[in-house]
Amino acid sequence: MCGFTGFVNVKEKLKENSKTILESMNSTLSTQKFNENDYFISDNAYLAHKKLITIKPDDKRHQMIENSYYGDYILCYHGQIYNTKEIRDILIQNNFTFEGDTDAEVILKGYIHFKEDIVNYLNGAFAFVIWNTKDNELFMARDHFGIKPLFYSLFNNTLIFATEIKTIFKYPGVEKILDSQGISELLGIGPSHTPGTTVFKNIYELKPAHFAIFNKYGLKINRYWKLHSEKHTDNLVQTCNKVHYLLKDSIERQLISDVPLCTFLSGGLDSSIITKFASDFHEKEKLPLLDTYSIDYIDNDKNFVKSDFQPNSDNYYINLMCENLHTKHHNIIIDTPELASHLYDSMIARDMPGMADIDSSLLLFCKNVKTEKNVALTGECADEIFGGYPWFFREDALNSGTFPWSIAIDERQTLLHPDLSKKICLKEYIDYRYNESLSEVEILATDSKETAEKRKISYLTLNWFMQTLLDRSDRMAMYNGFEIRVPFCDYRLAEYVWNIPWEMKALNGREKGLLRYICKDFLPAEIIDRKKSPYPKTHNPTYLSKVKDMLTTIMQNSNAPINDLLNRKYILEILDSNGSSFTRPWFGQLMTGPQLMAYLCQVNMWLETYQPKIEI
């Protein structure tokens, strides 16, 4: 678990001041509790690497540099591989020897042996680069679902890369430019983003499930994996057995750690499944009691209001699970002033305005858990893979003709500064990205009408909404030197479930019906039957008051940078109405009035901090 950065030029020697530049770039990486730094410097490549070790803390060999008769190979790596033993066994059979027990050594020697095909052997969350000094060639790769980030830019024949966007801007001459596409991403798509893009002109992300090669011929990017549609031939019993096996295997692989580990438990179906398997594993392996953690907010039970999107609170169900498991539970309580005061930190962690207090609450949660643990397993991604969101079932969402978690298109357009609104049509951009993504979906002739329809919404959810939540989890955790693992996001599980017919996936007409059915024999019935409830947010009215005061203070300054980008009159209307004049959630199920105001505060913080040039 690391952060890295660097730059390479395969055509000419880098300048003498490059080391100073590299050190400046490295200093911008999230520095919370990283163990150490590594540097590699040559005529054509400057690489920097920060490490936070979660496997074998005393074994630091081969974390970065591997010498072999193939030449010198230098690795910068961020993530965790869950099938290192299998890959190591293959390499040993091919006469490789190992000096350490790290997955970094497996990746590096795997690349020496398999070259770019190494990505087809990896199961994990990863982003890495490998510099080949013999061939003057850089290899970059990112995991199947983009759990770990990797950004890059090409400037004057130099490829600049980093695990955080802010780091790239420390390279001299790379500018922060917000053009019409960036504004459309920020205000039309955001806090989601189009895969491969950022809001900044000429700053890109390596897409999930892609690798790239940079050499004298330029930069070539390839896709190594995607969800392929195939006819599902297993019956219900076979399907249940296969899903159970894949899920159990994924969880147990991700429980391997030589630093303290826990699970996040909300009392929902997904986190309860993770915790049940993890607790059983601890008991089987005679490990100490599993620690579980939940988050809540001061006075939340008193202020909770039931809604279609948040039908119940978590505490009753958390207690029910704790009574049924051999675990040690901890409840983290956060107050509303903390949520508001950490909006800035969560924006910095993302390098973007994000999901407001939905982000800052997770950042604070990880910060508190980090005092006792280093790694947590969570139930995220189950809803995307098994069909758990309301928009899989609601006709208005299915027929919206747009991303169903972001239907407030007219309101977003109105929020644009009037001068920009004349030049930028957010709906046109959103429609383009929506249809572009739908064109990638493989529909089979044998698919039922419903399965074909649900393939489309599933594909959008996996590639857009899930990516946003994965970004959130990784950035908020890594900001605290903490690691979040997502066993439901195992590509083998996703591949299999992708082809299960919707009628079976939504068994008994329920969201995640198949998953519920599989777990009926080992989870309490109340957990099985519990209606989906999203990540808990604060219902304390003092939070609305706090963010309203923050936004009011911003808007009292006519020179605040938000006035150059957004519609000042409309923001004042939003303030006067306590957010109700913006009639639909900004994003997903939770970003309503208070979260919208907090998001607008983040936009101003972002503009003040990053100071992008607006070029239309």
- Mean pLDDT, the chain, rounded, equals 91
Q: What is the pTM of this model?
A: 0.94
β-strands 261-264, 375-377: how paired? parallel
Q: Are 49 and 37 in contact (CB under 8 A)?
A: yes
- The 3-state DSSP composition of the chain as helix, strand, coil percent (nearest 5) reads 45, 15, 40
Return the domain boundaries, the chain: 2-223, 236-394+466-529, 541-614
Task: Provide φ and ψ at 86, rounded to 5°.
Answer: -65, -45
The pLDDT-based confidence of 63 (bands split at 50, 70, 90) is very low
Helix (H) or strand (E) holding 79: strand 71-81
Question: How many whole angstroms separate alpha carbon 114 and alpha carbon 150?
Answer: 22
- Return the residue matching tokens 């970094």: 104
Q: Which of 234-238, 260-264, 349-353, 536-540 shows the lowest mean pLDDT across its residues?
A: 536-540
pLDDT digits (tens, 9 = 90+) for 157-208: 999 999 999 999 999 999 999 999 999 999 999 999 999 999 999 999 999 9
pLDDT digits (tens, 9 = 90+) for 221-275: 999 999 999 999 999 999 999 999 999 999 999 999 888 899 999 999 999 999 9
- The packing angle between helices 236-254 and 491-498, to 10°, is 160
pLDDT of 555 > 90? The answer is yes
Question: How many whole angstroms separate alpha carbon 550 and alpha carbon 336?
Answer: 13
pLDDT digits (tens, 9 = 90+) for 213-223: 999 999 999 99
3-state secondary structure 507-549: HHHCCCHHHHHHCCCCCCHHHHHCCCCCCCCCCCHHHHHHHHH
* Catalytic sites, residue numbers: 2
CATH code of the region 236-394+466-529: 3.40.50.620
536 or 296, which is more confident: 296
Establish how many alpha carbons lie within 13 A of residue 612's alpha carbon, considering only the half-sphere containing its beta carbon. Answer: 29
Name the CATH topology of 2-223. Answer: Glutamine Phosphoribosylpyrophosphate, subunit 1, domain 1 (3.60.20)
Question: How many whole angstroms separate alpha carbon 77 and alpha carbon 75?
Answer: 6
Averaged pLDDT for residues 495-507: 97
**DSSP conformation class of 117:** G
Question: What is the model's pLDDT at position 534?
Answer: 63
Averaged pLDDT for residues 340-358: 95
**Amino acid at position 536, single letter:** P
